[in-house]
């Protein structure tokens, strides 16, 4: 009897993909509005007239209540997927152990063992496909979640700037091309307070 080449499939979905909003390095994506410019290389006017300000994007995204809520929802979904996959893997491993025990002790005919081996191979393939399906599903939802957050921030900054009238609202981040910015131009706290207030009000509707 040919030895069954089965292995225990890693079950921790959380180890395969990471919710990265809390550690996002490039939160502003291509296609952003003129209201937010995180990596501009354009020549900009003097800041003396107060027409240029910036927000710390990492801080803004990490403390935006929408980020916190959506991240929590995604983590819960990941936990459920992980639990389901882990449970199915345990059942599969039990079947593998039973097959190996019967094969070693000669408790089944060769034809029966061959049938069992074939079935285990199918189950193993199904588990691998399920794990990949979950990984892709979470990755897609994470991408959509990030776009929703970025869009909400850009939409709010348009409203925010109707009153403020800034020429540029830059987005500063760890790897942005803004190498230095005067802290007096940082409007992160004001934007964060306003965007969270708006989000809270919209949730109550």
Range of the domain at 136: 25-39+50-204
Predicted pLDDT at 44:
37
The pLDDT assigned to 49 comes to 56
Task: Give domain status of residue 1, yes or no.
Answer: no
User: Which residue did the predictor score with more confidence, 17 or 125?
Assistant: 125
Cα angle at 165 between 48 and 158, to 5 degrees? 130
**Would you say residue 3 lies in a domain?**
no
Residue 8 included in any domain = no
Instruction: Pick 62 or 16 by higher pLDDT.
Output: 62
**177 belongs to a structural domain:** yes
CATH code for position 94: 3.30.910.20
22-81 per-position pLDDT tens digit: 333 333 343 333 333 333 333 334 444 568 999 999 999 999 999 999 999 999 999 999
Q: Convert the pLDDT of each residue in 162-203 to its tens digit.
A: 999 999 999 998 887 888 888 999 999 999 999 999 999 998
Question: Is 138 a member of any domain?
Answer: yes
pTM: 0.70
Q: State the sign of the Cα–Cα–Cα–Cα dihedral 108, 112, 114, 116.
A: negative
For 102-145, the DSSP string reads HHHHT-S-HHHHHHHHHHHHHHHHHHHHHHHHHHHHHHHHHHHH
Kindly state whether residue 105 falls inside one of the protein's structural domains: yes
Residue 181 has a pLDDT of: 87
- Domain membership of residue 192 (yes or no) is yes
Tens digits of per-residue pLDDT, 70-126?
999 999 999 999 999 999 999 999 999 999 999 999 999 999 999 999 999 999 999
The answer to the question of residue 183 being in a domain is yes
**Helix spans in the chain (H):** 13-16, 57-63, 65-105, 110-164, 188-204
**What's the domain count of the chain?**
1
């Amino acid at each position: 009897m040919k030895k069954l080449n089965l292995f225990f499939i890693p079950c921790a979905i959380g180890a395969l993909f990471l919710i990265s909003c809390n550690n996002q390095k490039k939160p502003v994506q291509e296609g952003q509005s003129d209201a937010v410019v995180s990596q501009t290389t354009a020549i900009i006017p003097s800041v003396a007239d107060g027409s240029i300000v910036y927000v710390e994007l990492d801080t803004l995204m990490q403390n935006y209540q929408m980020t916190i809520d959506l991240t929590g929802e995604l983590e819960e979904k990941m936990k459920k997927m992980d639990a389901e996959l882990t449970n199915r893997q345990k059942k599969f491993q039990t079947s593998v152990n039973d097959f190996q025990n019967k094969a070693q002790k000669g408790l089944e005919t060769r034809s029966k063992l061959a049938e069992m081996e074939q079935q285990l191979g199918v189950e193993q393939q199904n588990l691998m496909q399920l794990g990949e399906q979950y990984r892709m599903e979470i990755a897609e939802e994470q991408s959509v979640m990030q776009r929703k957050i970025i869009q909400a921030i850009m939409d709010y900054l348009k409203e925010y700037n109707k009153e403020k009238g800034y020429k540029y609202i830059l987005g500063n981040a760890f790897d942005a091309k803004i190498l230095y910015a005067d802290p007096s131009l940082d409007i992160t706290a004001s934007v964060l307070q306003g965007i969270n207030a708006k989000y809270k009000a919209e949730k109550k509707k």
